[in-house]
Amino acid sequence: RAFKEKVDVASVIVTKLDGLAKGGGALSAVAATGSPVIFIGTGEHIDDFEPFKVKPFVSKLLVMGDIEGLIDKVNELKLDDNEELIEKLKHGQFTLRDMYE
């Protein structure tokens, strides 16, 4: 809150959520400043950010999974030009490695 009084904080980007804290400090800062979270870090690289969405974040926080995130990843797959991937999907042989690649 003292920081907010000296510096006008318009929004927050949460960059580190691993470990046991699960972003508690960042969420406390959001509550104290009244500033919204706009992006959330998803990895260690400079471009590992995604827009913050409340529902998937809370689901992950409560260890309920992130169905919306999974659907987004599947929608990113280039299925039109990848017959091998389509066949794997049809026969239930699609793996997490396939999604990663």
pTM (2 decimals)? 0.51
> Given phi > 0 = left and psi -120 to 50 = alpha, else beta, which region is 17?
alpha
Least confident range from 31-35, 51-55, 72-76, 87-91: namely 72-76
pLDDT category, 18, cuts 50, 70, 90?
Answer: low
Domain spans, the chain: 1-64, 66-101
Under DSSP, is residue 12 helix (H, G, I), strand (E, B) or coil? strand
48-63 per-position pLDDT tens digit: 888 888 877 777 766 6
Q: Is 40 exposed, middle or buried (0-12, 13-18, 19+ CB in 10 A)?
A: buried
